[in-house]
Copies of this chain bind each other. A is one copy, B any other.
Amino acid sequence: MATQTPDSPAAAPAARDAERTRSEILAVATREFADKGFAGARVDEIAAKTRTTKRMIYYYFDGKEGLYISALEQAYTGIRALEQQVDVEHLDPAEAIRRLAALTFDHHESHPDFIRLVSIENIHYARHIARSEILAGLANPALDALSRILERGRAAGQFRDDVDPIDVHMMISAFCVFRTANRYTFSAIFKRDMLDPARRDHYRTMISDLVLEYLTAGR
C-alpha cells in the first residue's frame, strides 16, 4: 500500500489529466520534430522529455507519424487563427498591405518552429498535409483579406490591376520565410545574421516597401 508519495506537494504525479498529458506530448513533439526533422526525432526521446511514457504517444497519437501530423495541424491552425483576427478593412490599401506584411513578418520571426516544420514537410513533399483532413481543407483568411485590399487599391487607382493575390502573398511569404528558414546557411556564407535585432526594423520595412513599389509601379 502507498506506492505513491503520500502527499508531497511538489513532486505529486500531477494526478490524472488526459488533456494535460496529451498537450504536453504534443508540445514536446513539436519542438523535437522542428529541431530534428521527422526521421531525426526519436519517439523515446520525446517520451523522456514529458512526464509520461512512450506508451501514451501510441495511446493518444497512434504512433510517430500520427504525432507528427498532429504537431503540424496544431502549428498551422495557430497561424490561421492569428490571421482570422487581422482587421485591415478600415485602413488605406497601402497601409493595409504594410500591416499584413508586418503580421507575417512578426509571426514567422516569433514562430521558428512553425517555419521549420514547414521546411521539413516540404522535404517530405507535403505528404502528411495531403493526408490530414484538417489541413487539406483549411481556409486561408489572410488570402481573403489580401484579395479585398488589392480590390480596393485597384478601385482607388493606387495599385496596378494585373496582380494576383496569391502572387502577392507569395512575395511576402518568400521573404519572411527565407529570412527565418535559411538563416543558418545564409549566415554561414554571407556572415550576416538576418535575425539580428539591429537589422530587424530594416527588413521589416523593406518587405513592405518592396511589395508596395511593385504594386504601385508607374502610378
Q: State which of B124, B178, B184, B185 has its C-beta within 8 Å of the C-beta of A170.
A: B178
- Does A183 sit at the interface, judged by CB under 8 A? yes
> Which residues of the partner chain B approach A81 to less than 8 Å between Cβ atoms?
none
> Which residues of the partner chain B approach A174 to less than 8 Å between Cβ atoms?
174-175, 177-179, 182
Chain B nearest Cβ from A209, distance in angstroms:
7
How many angstroms between the C-alpha atoms of A38 and B79 in the bound complex? 29
22 contacts between A and B (CB under 8 A): A37-B37, A37-B40, A37-B123, A40-B40, A119-B119, A122-B185, A125-B184, A126-B187, A136-B188, A138-B189, A140-B189, A170-B194, A171-B175, A171-B210, A173-B186, A174-B174, A174-B177, A174-B178, A175-B175, A181-B181, A213-B214, A213-B217
How many angstroms between the C-alpha atoms of A101 and B184 in the bound complex? 22
Most buried by B among A40, A129, A183, A213: A213
Q: Are A170 and B186 also in contact (CB < 8 A) when A39-B40, A181-B122 are? A: yes
Closest to A209 in B: B214
On chain A, the number of residues with a Cβ less than 8 Å from chain B's Cβ atoms is 51
> Which residues of the partner chain B approach A138 to less than 8 Å between Cβ atoms?
189
> Which residues of the partner chain B approach A186 to less than 8 Å between Cβ atoms?
170, 173
Contact B185 A121 (CB under 8 A): yes
The proximity string for A residues 3-19 relative to B, scoring 1 for CB distances below 8 Å and 0 otherwise, is: 00000000000000000
Q: State which of B121, B140, B143 has its C-beta within 8 Å of the C-beta of A184.
A: B121
> Which residues of the partner chain B approach A48 to less than 8 Å between Cβ atoms?
none
Contact residues, A110-149 vs B (CB, 8 A): 116, 118-126, 129-130, 135-136, 138, 140, 143
- Does A59 sit at the interface, judged by CB under 8 A? no
Q: State which of B36, B124, B125, B214 has its C-beta within 8 Å of the C-beta of A39.
A: B36
Chain B nearest Cβ from A72, distance in angstroms:
10
> Which residues of the partner chain B approach A201 to less than 8 Å between Cβ atoms?
none
Chain B nearest Cβ from A191, distance in angstroms:
9
> Which residues of the partner chain B approach A210 to less than 8 Å between Cβ atoms?
171, 210, 214
Closest to A125 in B: B184
